[in-house]
Structure 1
Amino acid sequence: MPYIKYALVIAIASLLISSCTMTYPGSSAATPTTNPFTNPLPTSSDPMKDVENFATATALAKTAIAGGGPTATLGADGATPVPTDTPFGGSIPTNTPLGGVGIIPSSTPGIGGSGEGDTPTSTLAPVTGRPLTYTLQSGEHPYCIARRFNVDPDELLALSGLTRSQAYSLVTGTVLKIPQTGSFPGPRALRSHPATYTVASSDETFYSIACLFGDVDPASIAQANGLSLGSLLTIGQAIKIP
């Protein structure tokens, strides 16, 4: 029995000695993990304040995206959102015509309408100056035309191939050539005017009445009375002479 005890003790001792000298397989080198956040999130002594600031910044960002308004950026301390300025003071520029002056539209009554925009009907003013030719009307003669256009009657007759003896026998429609130089020798007016003339015969016209006054244009007489040159005149009718 003692022998067995000694043998068991020696065996146990051998095992203990061998275990002290046993080598373990080499462990692989640990690979350090990389922090995906290069900058740590800002922290403060109040965690609830951090959560409130983060929620406020998120709400401002959503509002800016939806409404096109100003965006918000976190301050340097990451706590207080600072709104950025909107260009032009936050106002939306309006279109202005060139020169900065607004255009004020004006209204004009349409055709057939009434009001101040309507164009009144007016009588054409008589033509002034010397025409190259003139066609005699009823009641006119070369001397009358010479006074009206302030030309020499003898020059007018000569230019038109007429003589003095023919002057009062010309028919309506005769074409006279009007001199472009010279003047009438003597007073042109035969009667003073403005005046009022009373029609004495049924064959009188504005043309013949103008010849009675000498230097008055028949178109001016018609215009002064609100009538046309071809209007029929009646005996006793009062005619205004301008």
Structure 2
Amino acid sequence: MKTRKLRCLLIGLALIGSGCGAAPTPDPIQSLSNATPNTERLVMFEETKEVWIRYNVAPEPGVIPPALLPAANEPESETSAPSPTLGSGAASPGFYTLQEGETAKCIARRYDLDWIKLYSMNGITYENEALIGTGKNLILPQNSHWLSDRYGERVSAPHPAQHPVVAGETLYSIACVYGDVTPEAIAVQNGLTSADQVVPGMTLSIP
């Protein structure tokens, strides 16, 4: 009887020992290379990749990506607007190129435009208006007028007048001094055929 009990005890200890020392067998892991590709997912991936590349391609220096180019019905770039012709008495239809000594607000006064709308259409703010100068092409707001009750009179200096030209002045900057007078009108009044004829020391008659 004792021998039988001892045998059972030894067998039990052996079973316990084998159960505690042995590590569990892990489940087999399927290789990723054996995964079945999903055709729909592959198509979606390729389409997404093409769109990403189209909009995120690194542009060459000085080249605007096609996605950022303006649509055909948007205003032309600044370099396309024609410059005003001396003697025409008006800005080009819808556009005006600033000449030396002119400002955007000066143009609003001269051509009876709402300067707030002019600034808005051309992205001009109080912070950057000092940077808007010679060569800048302005888009002129249509059907708008200078609001005298809000902005004061278009006339910024009394005229008719005699204006002594000093160094640094141009025909265009002199017109801006008086607000509602055009350079063309001053040229006609003084028999000028070119803005280059305005030189320091001469006196211009302002109509």
TM-score of the aligned structures, taking structure 1 as reference length = 0.45
1:205 partnered with 2:167: no
The aligned amino acid for 1:200 is V
Distance 2:173 2:184 in 1: 12
Q: Partner of 2:177: helix, strand, or coil?
A: helix
1:153 aligns with 2:115: yes
Pick the aligned partner of 1:131 from 66, 74, 93: 93
Structure 2, unaligned runs of 5 or more:
1-85
C-alpha deviation, 1:161, in angstroms: 2.0
Is it true that 1:219 corresponds to 2:184 in the alignment? yes
Does the 8 Å CA contact 1:206/1:229 hold for their aligned counterparts?
A: no
Q: What stretches of structure 1 of length at least 5 have no aligned partner?
A: 1-123
Residue 133 of structure 2 aligns to a residue whose secondary structure is coil
Distance 1:232 1:167 in 2: 29
Structure with the larger RCO, 1 or 2 (CA within 8 Å, 6+ apart): 2
Q: Is contact 2:98-2:137 (8 Å) kept?
A: yes
Structure with bigger gyration radius: 1
Change in Cα spacing, 1:198 to 1:164, as seen in structure 2 (3 Å) is same
Residues paired across the two proteins, number = 118
1: CA distance between counterparts of 2:95 and 2:188?
23
Give the share of equivalent positions with the same residue, in percent: 39
Map of 1:196 onto structure 2: 162
Evaluate the alpha carbon distance shift between residue 137 and residue 129 of structure 1 in structure 2; reply closer, same or farther with a 3 A threshold.
Answer: closer
- The question of whether the paired residues in 2 share the 8 Å contact of 1:130 and 1:180 is answered with no
Q: SS of 1:240's equivalent?
A: strand
* Structure 1 residues 154-212: Cα deviation after superposition (integer angstroms, max 9, x where no partner): 100111122132223223110001011221122000111111100122x2111000000
Preserved CA contact (<8 Å) 1:197 1:240: yes
Correspondence for 1:141: 103
- Tell me if the contact between 2:162 and 2:205 (Cα under 8 Å) persists in the aligned partners: yes
The letter of the residue matching 2:193 is: S
In the alignment, is residue 163 of structure 1 matched against residue 122 of structure 2? no
2:141 aligned residue: 179
* More helix as a share of residues: 2
Helix, strand or coil at the partner of 2:196: coil
Residue identity opposite 2:131 in structure 1: S
Paired amino acid for 2:164 = T
